[in-house]
Structure 1
Amino acid sequence: MAYGLLKFAAALAATGFVGICGWTAATGWHPDVKQYPLQGIDLAENPGPVEWGTVRARGADFAYLVATSGTDRRDPGFEANWAALPDAGLRRGAVHVYSLCQRADEQANAFNTFVPRTADALPTAVDIAFHDDCTARPNRATLIADVAQFVTMVETHTRQPVMLRISKAVDTQYSLSGAVPRPLWAVENVLKPDYTARPWRMWRASDFRRIDGIEGPVNWDVVAS
């Protein structure tokens, strides 16, 4: 979070907005709604209590929730939050956190077993990043094949394309965004990301924004217009 705030301050200085980079300005910032009319949040695992009606009133149009991680972790709050989103007027999407240390087919089975196929759901997102609890680094061909297998199995279940949320570190090492032809979700605090091989469909623009209805910082996202 501190790193994100430093980047935000640097961006403000670079664009001439010196003097407004206080705590309130930083934690309240989001991309201009005129440029990105659709904006929303994505929550990490175990987010704690959320007042979804308040989140909607603060400008969120949608929410993505972590459902599963690897082959063996199911978020305990997913089902309740998933059920609450439509009543609050929010579109809903599910996220699988991909593990480089576990089999792709078993991860897909874990997601498909836990997350129901829902007609109003946004495209499923698979988060592909390096994590401290997994030091495996498969070769590029293996990772591409594994991700393609996961995507195919989940798309068969959900009947819509999967979106790939690929970290900059992973894409730098594997050039994954150019290898799997699916919508991309890029991650870069404040500054518009340019590391993906193809134009991104979604952008996580801040991981330090604060809004009423959720305790602590939230991940704020926008959809490309």
Structure 2
Amino acid sequence: MLTRFLIAALVLLTACAPAPAPFTGPMIIGDADPVRFAGRQPSTFPVRGMDAARFQTRVDWERAKAVGIEFVFLKATEGGDLLDPMFQDHWRGAGRAGIKRGAYHFYYFCTSPEVQARFFIRTAPKTRGSLPPVLDMEWNPFSPTCQRRPDAATVRNEMQRWLDIVTAYYGQRPIIYTTPGFYDDAELNRLKGYEFWLRTTAKTPSEAFPGQRWRFWQYTSTGTLPNTPGAIDINAFNGSRSDWDSWLDRRTVR
């Protein structure tokens, strides 16, 4: 009798609980401030993704996947001791939604590359099928703790030391993310054998990085996704869907 009473009460409570509000926004990858590029438009690339960090406090990963987000790069670490507070949540959420995920490290010029590499390795899981790690290289003139701005040769030397350690651990060469100004200042065209993820929101990669081959293009920081508040960085993969599948076969972590 007690069991039947409890079941009946549970059914009643469930029936009285308010249903979640249905989603009414557009089911698309949008852009609040779209740019008309001089060359090929990024929306024409068949494989697109996003990146996320602590600024994205809530992401509806299932809906992101439903509208065509196929990959995501997530900020894991900065310098030698700064863990992105949203990394674990984002990593789990993207994984549950079936979105290909990878982790990135924001480089800090006042900590040795060895310390930074070891910190990243302790933080970013070596998960089978995940995307290659990423080294984010850009100037940060607003840093309250580090105003160091090394010359180009020193920058590339420090980068190489980080890259070598991380490559050895994950079994994949990292991708290098950068901006036009940093790319020119550090003469990153001298780095050979690495894939590039390029940020350029006003020009195409061929205009902003003449002669540089690229794998990913971060083309907007004003992207929008259903049921996800705030602006989102949206990226395009340089290739066809078949290229994407082949790239994943070669480049995911084993």
Q: TM-score, normalised by structure 2?
A: 0.74
Aligned to 2:90: 81
**Structure 2, gaps ≥5 residues long:** 1-31, 240-254
Superposed, 1:144-223 pairs within 5 Å as: 144-194=156-206, 195=209, 197-223=211-237
Structure number with greater Rg is 2
Whichever residue aligns with residue 204 of structure 1, its letter is: Q
CA distance in structure 2 between the aligned counterparts of 1:78 and 1:102, rounded to whole angstroms: 21
Alpha-carbon offset, residue 31 of structure 1: 1.9
Alpha-carbon offset, residue 32 of structure 1: 2.8
SS at match of 1:153: helix
SS at match of 1:122: coil
Alpha-carbon offset, residue 46 of structure 1: 4.1
State which of 100, 109, 116 in structure 2 corresponds to 1:91: 100
CA distance in structure 2 between the aligned counterparts of 1:172 and 1:145, rounded to whole angstroms: 16
CA distance in structure 2 between the aligned counterparts of 1:44 and 1:51, rounded to whole angstroms: 14
Aligned to 2:57: 48
Given that residues 53 and 87 in structure 2 are in contact (C-alpha distance below 8 angstroms), is that contact kept between their aligned partners in structure 1? Answer: no
Q: Do structure 1's residue 103 and structure 2's residue 107 form an aligned pair?
A: no
CA distance in structure 1 between the aligned counterparts of 2:86 and 2:156, rounded to whole angstroms: 31
State which of 118, 136, 157 in structure 2 corresponds to 1:127: 136
Given that residues 113 and 161 in structure 2 are in contact (C-alpha distance below 8 angstroms), is that contact kept between their aligned partners in structure 1? Answer: yes
1:196/1:130 Cα in 2 relative to 1: closer, same or farther (>3 Å)? farther
1:86/1:44 Cα in 2 relative to 1: closer, same or farther (>3 Å)? closer
Superposed, 1:15-30 pairs within 5 Å as: none
Alpha-carbon offset, residue 128 of structure 1: 0.5
SS at match of 1:111: helix
CA distance in structure 2 between the aligned counterparts of 1:196 and 1:32, rounded to whole angstroms: 21
Alpha-carbon offset, residue 180 of structure 1: 4.5
Alpha-carbon offset, residue 178 of structure 1: 2.8
Q: Do structure 1's residue 136 and structure 2's residue 151 form an aligned pair?
A: no
Q: Percent identity?
A: 25
1:196/1:106 Cα in 2 relative to 1: closer, same or farther (>3 Å)? farther
CA distance in structure 1 between the aligned counterparts of 2:156 and 2:211, rounded to whole angstroms: 15
CA distance in structure 1 between the aligned counterparts of 2:172 and 2:190, rounded to whole angstroms: 20
State which of 42, 48, 63 in structure 2 corresponds to 1:31: 42
Whichever residue aligns with residue 79 of structure 1, its letter is: Q
Alpha-carbon offset, residue 207 of structure 1: 0.7
Q: Show CA shifts across 1:98-121 (max 9, x none).
A: 112221111101100111211111
Stretch deviating more after TM superposition (63-72 or 78-87)? 78-87
Aligned to 2:11: none
Given that residues 148 and 180 in structure 1 are in contact (C-alpha distance below 8 angstroms), is that contact kept between their aligned partners in structure 2? Answer: no
SS at match of 1:186: strand
SS at match of 1:107: helix
Given that residues 175 and 195 in structure 2 are in contact (C-alpha distance below 8 angstroms), is that contact kept between their aligned partners in structure 1? Answer: yes
**Structure 1, gaps ≥5 residues long:** 16-29
CA distance in structure 1 between the aligned counterparts of 2:46 and 2:189, rounded to whole angstroms: 25
Given that residues 186 and 196 in structure 1 are in contact (C-alpha distance below 8 angstroms), is that contact kept between their aligned partners in structure 2? Answer: no
Alpha-carbon offset, residue 170 of structure 1: 0.6
